[in-house]
């Protein structure tokens, strides 16, 4: 029996080794803790230390294997963990899952997902728990759990006579009797369909007196079915029949644990490597397989493609979020169907996909990507709604496989961001990564490094572009525009504004410009001049903060600037992106006394119908309305007149932007447009020059 027990202990150890191997392959942190006041660490694999950033020796020296010391700088996060453990223990649950914050050695706060199980193992009077931990800061979402506990396996002993036509019970030990409730339990009892077949296969061996080992299903006296590992050896012979001593090991829980382990392993593998939306590869899987393929290939073998669905938000708006997920899943499968051996695809985030393709000419790669896009558009719901999905793609030829994958991906993404300006044939606009992209990336990084210092040093200067009243032929207002007066000279807003909108610094810059405008209004009022209203641009980034207006109000009140002299401009594109949200924000802006205008009207997805719901003071017509210098196109005139007339009936002031010629001014005057803003009257000018134009003199501070 000791030999048989060893077999199953070895099997259990083998299963544990397989689990550890899986953890290592999956690069997951696994640790073992005492449930004491410190949650003392008693064992961890290498990825535990890799995750938190501390080498094992340093962790032990600094924190003495005490997580409470590790969390000393973050007591609130430690309390959350302690409360969770306490609550779980009190409930009698076997474990818990928790997403919390943890500080990396570098100081970076991580979101980590903890999957913990309490065991019955005791060390020094304390229970032992196992924890699987994963960094879920970027990965959109990782569940790790494992529950493996092997109990002592009870053994039963019985003796049978192996007759020519079956099995005859001889005797059994007390455990056998307790389990089955009687001592004459038949070895060949047909509890399970598989039993007769198993015994038939082994009967001939037993008739010859050879050792056997098989699994049977039996029924306990309380009616429960159990799985038994049966090992038998011939102990004697009686009248030509072998007498066998059988050792039964109840492996029901072991089999359940194995099945649980298989399920958990499959679940861990799915969580670690499968994207829940597309049901295909995720970033981790792509990084491992595609990264390995790149490193093992010769230079110039592969090209990495960053593929994005253009305006995917519209897909969700048209079809709904669930249908949008189905579209993403269909995109993945359509792209995957075009891949050759050695090529890979994964959804990295939102509507962004990465493809590793065998390198080819630009024409060949564009042809393949467009064929993929065509297949995507064969999706039945898209066809039925007559909606066309288009893509933008950035392509990077991998001529240096030693580059980190993240750098390769960044270069493809940089090219993708500029794909809109590239000439796209078909449904996918493609752009190759170039030296210009590299230089632009370096330039953007340089500006990003300097932007905060530049704001503190006052390098950002507010210029004002006058708004000319067509009725009074005088300056009736102005728009505040920002310029970066860097040591090397002026940097164009077209160069830094898109960057700041991307990295979020635009919020700080918008508030800075607003403060400068409040200060100049205060100066004008204190000097007794008839101050004209000044408008400021507000980036859509502000609208992600429901309390964004509090920052503006705090600045305005600091200078005592009348809100009626301040106008907030919101771009027309916001109307289409989220009209209900925009309507609420406009109402808030107006409720605080500010004027509000829609900027760039007509540049995108303008809908005249939405104007009835927008409680704005002014409508700024984009320069796209004035396609001709002379405004000689009759259809163009009809559109402009209609928009101005509608705005007037809705009590909105109209401002024509980008006006450059006198014939345009004359036409707008005849159509009773209220104001004109453009080079025909003035370019954006510094404050002192604007004051001379509007007030006839510079206003002293």
CATH number at residue 225: 3.30.450.20
Beta bridge partners of 119: none
Q: Specify the CATH number for the domain of residue 280.
A: 3.30.70.270
Number of structural domains the chain divides into: 4
Whether residue 701 is predicted with pLDDT greater than 70 in this model: the reply is: yes
Whether pTM exceeds 0.75:
no
φ and ψ at residue 450, rounded to 5 degrees: -100, -15
For residue 78, the model assigns a pLDDT of: 93
Q: How many CB atoms lie within 10 A of CB 404?
A: 9
CA distances from 624 to 604, 636, 639, 667 (A): 10, 10, 11, 15
pLDDT higher than threshold 80 for residue 13 = no
Task: With respect to residue 11, please indicate whether it lies within any of the assigned structural domains.
Answer: no
DSSP assignments along 335-384, one per residue? HHTTPPTT-EEEEEETTEEEEEEE---HHHHHHHHHHHHHHHTT-HHHHH
pLDDT, greater one: 218 or 411: 411
Say yes or no: 495 and 581 in one domain.
Answer: yes
Same-domain status, 334 and 391: yes
Say whether both 568 and 479 belong to one domain: yes
Residue 410 burial (C-beta neighbours within 10 Å; 0-12, 13-18, 19+) = middle
CA distance 218 to 181: 12
Residue 260 belongs to some domain of the structure: no
Is the pLDDT confidence value at 149 over 50?
A: no
Whether 533 maps to a domain, the answer reads: yes
pLDDT of residue 5: 32
Same domain, 546 and 676: yes
Q: Does residue 635 belong to any structural domain of this protein?
A: yes
How confident is the model at residue 268, as a pLDDT?
65
Looking at the domain assignment, is residue 527 inside a domain?
A: yes
Higher model confidence: residue 161 or residue 188?
161
The whole-number average pLDDT for the span 173-181 is 71
Is 1 within the bounds of a domain? no
> What local confidence, expressed as pLDDT, does residue 159 receive?
87
> Is residue 539 located within the same domain as residue 637?
yes
The percentage of the chain sitting over the pLDDT mark of 90, rounded to a whole number, equals 52
Distance of alpha carbon 130 from the chain centroid: 28
Q: Hey, what are 318's tokens?
A: 């048209």
CATH of the domain at 626: 3.20.20.450
Helix or strand or coil: residue 73?
coil
Residue 602 predicted with pLDDT over 80 = no
Tens digit of pLDDT for each residue in 430-449?
A: 999 988 888 888 888 899 99
Question: Phi then psi for 500, rounded to 5 degrees?
Answer: -70, -35
CA distance 272 to 163: 54
What is the predicted pLDDT for the residue at 571?
Answer: 81
**Residue 61: what are its φ and ψ, rounded to 5°?**
-70, -40
Amino acid 193: pLDDT: 44
Last residue of a domain, one of 404, 433, 462: 433
* pLDDT at position 562: 96
Tokens of 665: 């001014």
Per-residue pLDDT tens for 563-585? 999 999 988 777 666 777 788 88
Residue 137 corresponds to which tokens in the numbers above? Answer: 């800061």
Is 546 part of a structural domain of the chain? Answer: yes
pLDDT in tens, 254-279: 766 766 666 666 666 666 788 889 98
Contacts of 687 (CB under 8 A, 6+ apart): 462, 463, 464, 520
Higher-pLDDT residue of 630, 475: 475
- Lowest mean per-residue pLDDT among 165-169, 239-243, 662-666: 165-169
- C-alpha pair distances (Å), 581 with each of 59, 459, 528, 539: 49, 34, 39, 14
pLDDT number for residue 194: 55
Separation of CA 441 from chain center: 23
pLDDT for the residue 606: 52
Whether the CB-CB separation of 336 and 355 falls below 8 Å is answered with no
As given in the structure block, the two tokens for residue 347 are 């959804």
Pull the structure tokens for residue 85.
């453990």
What's the token pair of residue 64? Answer: 């003495």
What's the CA dihedral at 615, 618, 622, 626 to 10 degrees? 120
More confident residue, 216 or 318: 216
Residue 307 has pLDDT above 50, yes or no: yes
Same domain for 622 and 534: yes
- 620 plus 509 within the same structural domain: yes
Kindly state the average pLDDT of the residues 124-132. 92
pLDDT of residue 62: 93
- pLDDT grade for 382, boundaries at 50, 70 and 90: low
Greater model confidence, 287 or 175:
287
Whether residue 326 lies inside any domain: the answer is yes
Rounded to 5 degrees, φ, ψ at 261 are: -65, -40
Q: Are strands 302-309 and 391-397 parallel, antiparallel or unpaired?
A: antiparallel
Whether the pLDDT of residue 512 is over 70: the answer is: yes
Over range 594-620, report the average pLDDT: 80
DSSP 8-state assignment for residue 613: G
The residue segments making up the domain with residue 201 are 153-254
User: Up-side HSE of residue 168: CA atoms within 13 Å toward CB?
Assistant: 11
Q: Is residue 429 located within the same domain as residue 575?
A: no
Strand pairing report for 391-397 and 428-432 = parallel
Backbone angles phi, psi at 465, to 5 degrees: -110, 120
Q: With 0-12 CB in 10 A as exposed, 13-18 as middle and 19+ as buried, what is 530?
A: exposed
Distance of CA 491 to the CA centre of its chain: 33
Q: Are residues 29 and 166 in the same domain?
A: no
The better pLDDT of the pair 220, 339 is held by 339
Whether 517 and 566 have beta carbons less than 8 Å apart is answered as yes
**pLDDT band at 535, cuts 50/70/90?**
very high
d(CA 31, CA 44): 4
| Predicted confidence band of residue 109 (pLDDT cuts 50, 70, 90) | confident
**C-beta of residue 37 within 8 angstroms of C-beta of residue 64:** no
In this prediction, residue 521 carries a pLDDT of 95
Task: Name residues whose C-beta falls within 8 Å of residue 634's C-beta, 6 or more positions apart in sequence.
Answer: none
Same domain, 378 and 318: yes
- The model's confidence at residue 669, banded by pLDDT at 50, 70 and 90, is very high
- Residue 542 and residue 471 share a domain: yes
Total Cβ atoms within 10 A of residue 97: 14
- Is 614 found in the same domain as 489? yes
């Amino acid at each position: 029996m000791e030999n048989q027990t060893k077999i199953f202990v070895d099997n259990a150890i083998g299963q544990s080794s397989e689990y550890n191997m899986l953890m290592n392959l999956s690069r997951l942190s696994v640790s073992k803790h005492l449930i004491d006041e410190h949650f003392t660490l008693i064992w961890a694999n290498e990825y535990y230390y890799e995750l938190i950033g501390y080498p094992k020796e340093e962790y032990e020296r600094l924190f003495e294997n005490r997580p409470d010391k590790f969390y000393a700088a973050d007591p609130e996060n430690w309390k959350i963990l302690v409360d969770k453990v306490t609550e779980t223990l009190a409930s009698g649950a076997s474990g818990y899952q928790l997403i919390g914050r943890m500080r990396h050695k570098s100081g970076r706060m991580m979101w980590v997902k903890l999957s913990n199980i309490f065991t019955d193992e005791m060390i020094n009077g304390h229970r032992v728990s196992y924890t699987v931990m994963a960094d879920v800061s970027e990965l959109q979402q990782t569940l790790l759990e494992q529950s493996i506990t092997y109990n002592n396996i009870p053994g039963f002993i019985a003796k049978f006579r192996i007759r020519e036509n079956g099995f005859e019970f001889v005797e059994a030990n007390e455990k056998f009797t307790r389990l089955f409730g009687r001592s004459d339990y038949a070895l060949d009892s047909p509890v399970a369909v598989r039993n007769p077949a198993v015994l038939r296969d082994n009967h001939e061996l037993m008739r010859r007196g050879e050792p056997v080992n098989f699994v049977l299903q039996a029924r306990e006296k309380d009616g429960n079915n159990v799985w038994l590992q049966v090992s038998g050896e011939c102990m004697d012979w009686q009248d030509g029949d072998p007498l066998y001593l059988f050792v039964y090991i109840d492996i029901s829980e072991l089999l359940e644990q194995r099945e649980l382990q298989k399920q958990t392993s499959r679940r861990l593998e799915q969580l670690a490597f499968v994207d829940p939306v597309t049901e295909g590869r995720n970033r981790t899987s792509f990084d491992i397989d595609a990264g390995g393929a790149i490193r093992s290939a010769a230079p110039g073998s592969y090209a990495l493609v960053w593929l994005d669905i253009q305006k995917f938000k519209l897909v969700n708006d048209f079809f709904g979020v669930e249908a949008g997920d189905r579209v993403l899943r269909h995109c993945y499968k359509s792209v995957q169907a075009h891949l050759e051996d050695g090529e890979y695809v994964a959804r990295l985030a939102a509507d962004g996909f990465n493809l590793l393709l065998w390198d080819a000419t630009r024409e060949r790669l564009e042809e393949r990507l467009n064929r993929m896009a065509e297949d995507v558009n064969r999706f039945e719901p898209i066809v039925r709604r007559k909606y066309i999905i288009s893509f933008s793609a950035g392509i990077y030829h991998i001529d240096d496989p030693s580059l980190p994958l993240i750098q390769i991906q960044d270069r493809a993404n940089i090219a993708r961001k500029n794909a809109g300006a590239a000439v796209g044939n078909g449904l996918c606009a493609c752009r190759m990564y170039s030296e210009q992209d590299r230089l632009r990336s370096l330039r953007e990084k340089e500006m990003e490094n300097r932007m905060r210092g530049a704001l503190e040093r006052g390098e950002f200067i507010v210029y004002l572009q006058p708004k000319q009243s067509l009725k009074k032929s005088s300056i009736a207002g102005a728009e505040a525009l920002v310029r970066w007066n860097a040591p090397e000279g002026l940097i164009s807003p077209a160069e830094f504004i898109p960057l700041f909108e991307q990295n979020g610094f635009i919020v700080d810059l918008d508030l800075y410009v607003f403060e400068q405008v409040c200060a100049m209004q205060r100066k004008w009022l204190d000097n007794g001049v008839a101050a004209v209203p000044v408008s400021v641009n507000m980036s859509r980034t502000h609208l992600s903060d429901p309390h964004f207006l509090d920052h503006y109000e705090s600045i305005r009140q600091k200078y005592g600037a009348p809100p009626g002299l301040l106008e907030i401009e919101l771009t027309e594109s916001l109307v289409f992106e989220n009209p209900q949200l925009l309507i609420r924000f406009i109402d808030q802006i107006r409720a605080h006394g500010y004027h509000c205008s829609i900027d760039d009207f007509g540049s995108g997805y303008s809908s005249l119908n939405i104007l009835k719901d927008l409680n704005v003071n002014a409508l700024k017509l984009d320069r796209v309305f004035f396609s001709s210098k002379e405004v000689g196109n009759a259809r163009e005139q009809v559109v402009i007149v209609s928009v101005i007339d509608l705005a007037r009936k809705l009590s909105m002031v109209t401002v024509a932007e980008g006006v450059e010629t006198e014939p345009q001014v004359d036409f707008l005057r005849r159509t009773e447009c209220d104001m004109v803003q453009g080079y025909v009257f003035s370019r954006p000018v510094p404050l002192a020059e604007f004051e001379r134009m509007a007030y006839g003199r510079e206003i002293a501070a």
